[in-house]
């Protein structure tokens, strides 16, 4: 199958076949990162610009590493050091970057829809690295790769996503992607953090964590996004941890081999207890490892990899 997408903006616009191709390609890309010399010439001569207007550790670093492992040149721009502080618009900034013959712009922005706006105006490929509360498709894809690696499939699994659903682009992209791949997704959290109508994305909702994790094959905990909360949505962090945090005690309601996931960064002792985050069924660092492979796969595919090169 050829990969025909110029941009990667959300999970809704990817078909089951495209998701499968991205994950299969990522599996092959992962092997490159395990070699003594972790580099292939596949994207030599291509230029990737990392355009991040919100902080990031995992996404920005893994896109940078992914580009370098494929021999592309990568350049990083942040809002505070760009001419946007002098009043230049986002579109003008992006057009100037494109004028330097960038092939791919990887973008994170606090406004939902910012990557789509660029994608419509630029010839360069745009990859959404997280926009507002809308979407984080590359996170959902690396989560899928991690689930598939451990469980062999996504189809038919019960996957609990727990925490601050309202502010989570990770949750939205995972609900859309995982249900598309045949999973049964259940959401849990305080009523103040679960938006009305979220069921329309295909997930069911409960306000009881024990109910969500009962029989779950995968438990995905979400970070409390204090930076996006405009009012107090829970009494105290201690209270939140007691009622909605994942502890060893609560894990007794889960299957013995339930995978424990978290997109990071982790608020240890709030949404997840340290002994659970570091426990035997935690795949939190595997998610990070797979992030490099998925981003290699995406750079390769949007640059027409299947049409012109082997890796």
- Which residues are tagged catalytic? 58-59, 86, 108, 136
Binding status of residue 57 toward ligand CP by CB under 6 A: yes
For residue 295, the minimal CB distance to ligand CP (Å) is 11
Which of these ranges, 21-29, 57-65, 98-106, 199-207, lies near ligand CP under the rule CB under 6 A? Answer: 57-65
Binding residue (CB under 6 A) for ligand CP from 202, 215, 264, 279: 264
Shortest approach of ligand CP to residue 142 CB, angstroms?
A: 9
Please tell me whether residue 139 binds ligand CP under the rule CB under 6 A: yes
Helices (H), the chain: 16-32, 58-69, 90-99, 114-121, 137-151, 169-180, 209-213, 237-244, 248-251, 274-277, 284-302, 305-308
Which residues are CB-contacts of 260 (< 8 A; sequence separation ≥ 6)? 219, 221, 246, 272, 276, 277, 279, 281, 282, 283, 284
Work out how close the CB of 59 gets to ligand CP at its nearest, in angstroms, rounded to a whole number: 3
Nearer to ligand CP, 3 or 53 (CB): 53
Site membership for ligand CP, residue 174 (CB under 6 A): no
Does residue 285 belong to the site contacting ligand CP (CB under 6 A)?
no
* CA pair distance 284, 127, nearest whole angstrom: 23
The reply to whether 282 sits near ligand CP by the rule CB under 6 A is: no
How many whole angstroms separate alpha carbon 42 and alpha carbon 16?
26
Task: For residue 223, give the nearest of 236, 206, 239, 240 by alpha carbon.
Answer: 240
Q: What is the CB-side half-sphere exposure of residue 160 using CA atoms within 13 A?
A: 28
* Residue 263 interacting with ligand CP (CB under 6 A): yes
Q: Closest approach of Cβ 236 to ligand CP, in Å?
A: 25
Which residues lie near ligand CP (CB under 6 A)?
Answer: 56-59, 130, 139, 263-265
């Amino acid at each position: 199958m050829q990969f025909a997408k110029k941009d990667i903006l959300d999970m809704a616009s990817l078909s089951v076949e495209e998701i499968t191709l991205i994950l299969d390609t990522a599996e092959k890309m992962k092997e490159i990162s395990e070699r003594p010399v972790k580099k292939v010439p596949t994207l030599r001569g291509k230029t990737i610009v990392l355009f991040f207007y919100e902080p990031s550790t995992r996404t920005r670093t893994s896109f940078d590493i992914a580009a370098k492992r494929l021999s592309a040149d990568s350049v990083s721009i942040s809002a505070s050091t760009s001419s946007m502080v002098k009043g230049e618009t986002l579109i003008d900034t992006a057009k100037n970057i494109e004028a330097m013959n960038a092939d791919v712009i990887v973008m994170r922005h606090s406004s939902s829809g910012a990557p789509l706006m660029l994608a419509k105006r630029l010839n360069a490929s745009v990859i959404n690295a997280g926009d507002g509360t809308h979407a984080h498709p590359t996170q959902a894809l690396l989560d899928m790769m991690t689930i598939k690696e451990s469980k062999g499939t996504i189809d038919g699994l019960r996957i609990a996503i727990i925490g601050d659903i309202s502010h989570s682009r990770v949750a939205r992209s995972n609900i859309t992607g995982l249900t598309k791949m045949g999973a049964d997704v259940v959401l849990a959290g305080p009523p103040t953090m679960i938006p009305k109508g979220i069921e329309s994305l295909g997930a069911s909702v409960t306000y009881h964590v024990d109910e969500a994790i009962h029989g779950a094959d995968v438990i995905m905990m979400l970070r409390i996004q204090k930076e996006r909360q405009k009012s107090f949505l829970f009494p105290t962090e201690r209270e939140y941890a007691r009622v909605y945090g994942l502890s060893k005690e609560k894990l007794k309601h889960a299957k013995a081999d339930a995978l424990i996931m978290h997109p990071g960064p982790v608020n240890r002792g709030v949404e997840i207890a340290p002994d659970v985050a570091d426990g035997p069924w935690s795949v939190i660092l595997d998610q990070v490892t797979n992030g490099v492979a998925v981003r290699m796969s995406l750079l390769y595919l949007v640059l027409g990899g299947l049409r012109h090169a082997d890796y």
